[in-house]
Amino acid sequence: MINKIKKEKGILEKFSESRRSMLKSLGAVAAATPVVGSMFKAKDADAALADHTMYLRGNYFESCTCETICPCLLLLDPTKGYCTAFLGWHIDKGWVGSTDVSGLNVAMFLHAPKNLLKGGFTVGVYVDDRASRSQKKALTEAYHGIHGGHLGVVASLVKGAEGGPREFLPTRSAKIDFTVNSPHRHLVVHGVGENKMEQLAGAGGKPVVVHDTPLAVAPPFPITVSRASKLVYNDHGISHSFEGGNGLSSPFVYMDGGAKQTAIEKS
């Protein structure tokens, strides 16, 4: 037992200081995000406009290659040792700088080669083809972490040299269908990929929900758990398909803040 305790302590001590800082950033962003009820009122959006250069509010969902419920939420290793995910966001209300991006969709392909805290992500962003040139530029900057906040924390895990810019795959414009018809959720990025999932039924037929996880795409909102019947992706020379993986969904609010990144796009 003593040897086991020493071994586990040794593993914990291997976390780099940068990853500890990342966790602190996650907590800080979550703590700074207003509660669900108040944030969904129009007056709060108006207040945020005065204080923030970026504000994005809406709903998101994703599925990945982990088993349900995804161990990455608890900072554990992915089920298969890696995690490949396809994510989608619908922005109900939002702006980046002076650019209004309300009503648009964004999608993302993400591959984490090992435990998510170790970074090295391969990431490609897809912006709604209804977006104007300025809207696409604004959303690309936001999801590349240029404005910081929680999106900056996520972007900090994308591959790239220590201290250098994060290296994203080229951003594409695409027709994106984002459909929520509970318990079903369906994301289609035309010509690229598809994510189809159904939320799990809990006690009394209510959805299965987890909250207060140490890792989340949209803290501090509760996460509804689903199971994916279809995950397909083909782009950037990557071909991936998976069935029966984990699915997650929640509201989101992203605002600018610390953890601002620099980014480049590389094929």
Report the domain count for the chain. 1
35: DSSP letter: P
The predicted pLDDT at position 19 comes to 45
pLDDT at 95 over 50: yes
Q: Which two tokens stand for residue 109?
A: 């392909």
The predicted pLDDT at position 204 comes to 87
How far is residue 258's CA from residue 212's CA, in Å, rounded to a whole number?
A: 21
User: Which 3 state secondary structure label does DSSP give 26?
Assistant: helix
237: DSSP letter: T
Q: 207-213: list long-range contacts, CB under 8 Å, 24+ apart.
A: 207/182, 207/183, 208/69, 210/69, 210/73, 213/73, 213/74
Least confident of 19-23, 104-108, 203-207, 230-234: 19-23
CA atoms within 13 Å, Cβ hemisphere of 151: 27
* 6: exposed, middle or buried (Cβ count in 10 Å: 0-12, 13-18, 19+): exposed
% helix, strand, coil for the chain, step of 5:
25, 40, 35
pLDDT at 39 over 70: no
The strand ranges marked E within 131-189 are 166-168, 172-174, 176-181, 184-189
Higher pLDDT, 174 or 47: 174
Checking DSSP bridges between strand 172-174 and strand 122-128, what pairing results, if any? parallel
Domain span at residue 166?
2-265
- 247 beta partners: 63, 226
The predicted pLDDT at position 230 comes to 96
The predicted-structure confidence for 120-133, as pLDDT tens digits, reads as follows 999 999 999 999 99
Q: Which two tokens stand for residue 172?
A: 């594409």
Structural contact between residues 254 and 54, judged by C-beta atoms closer than 8 angstroms: yes
Per-residue confidence band for 49, with pLDDT thresholds at 50, 70 and 90: low
User: Number of helices and strands (H, E) in the chain?
Assistant: 6, 15
CA atoms within 13 Å, Cβ hemisphere of 98: 0
Q: How far is CA 206 from CA 183, 191, 203, 225, 227, in A?
A: 10, 35, 6, 11, 15
The predicted-structure confidence for 180-217, as pLDDT tens digits, reads as follows 999 999 999 999 999 999 999 999 889 999 999 988 99
Residues written for the chain: 267
pLDDT at 6 over 90: no
The predicted-structure confidence for 50-91, as pLDDT tens digits, reads as follows 678 999 999 999 999 999 889 999 989 999 999 999 999 999
